[in-house]
């Protein structure tokens, strides 16, 4: 069964304290691993798509990496505005995304 699992469920960081979020997947024939950011009361906002093992993408303090079984979202020197829920999703076919439950990140000043 296709499955996407995120850990930890919640992460509390001090401003400037770097950390990583994990997304493991068992999606057969994965056609892309997606990362989204979701703020309270808003829809998910697209961050990255990774297609093949070894691929990396960066945006400001965020860097996403992909292996054959998991993806990591690294947050370097986070700021309070990085507080959000981060969702990863595996794409199973041409259109269907299977989302993980998310990791809620809280960054304290």
Partner 1 sequence: DAGVIQSPRHEVTEMGQEVTLRCKPISGHNSLFWYRQTMMRGLELLIYFNNNVPIDDSGMPEDRFSAKMPNASFSTLKIQPSEPRDSAVYFCASSPSGRLYNEQFFGPGTRLTVL
Residues that bind partner 1 (CB under 8 A): 31-32, 34, 36, 41-46, 49, 51, 87, 89, 91, 94-97, 99-102
Q: How far is the CB of 58 from partner 1 (least distance, A)?
A: 16
Distance CA 8, CA 22 (A): 7
Q: How far is the CB of 76 from partner 1 (least distance, A)?
A: 23
Label residue 47 exposed, middle or buried (CB < 10 Å: 0-12, 13-18, 19+): middle
For 68, which DSSP code? S
Q: How far is the CB of 54 from partner 1 (least distance, A)?
A: 17
């Amino acid at each position: 069964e296709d499955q996407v699992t995120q850990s930890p469920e919640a992460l509390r960081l001090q401003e400037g304290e770097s950390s990583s979020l994990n997304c493991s997947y068992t999606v057969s024939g994965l056609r892309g691993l997606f990362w989204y950011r979701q703020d309270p009361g808003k829809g998910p906002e697209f961050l990255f798509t990774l297609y093949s093992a070894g691929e990396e993408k960066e945006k400001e303090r965020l860097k996403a990496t992909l292996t054959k079984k998991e993806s990591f979202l690294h947050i370097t020197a986070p700021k309070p505005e990085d507080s959000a829920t981060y969702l990863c999703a595996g794409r199973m076919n041409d259109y269907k995304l299977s989302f993980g439950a998310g990791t809620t990140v809280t960054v304290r000043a």
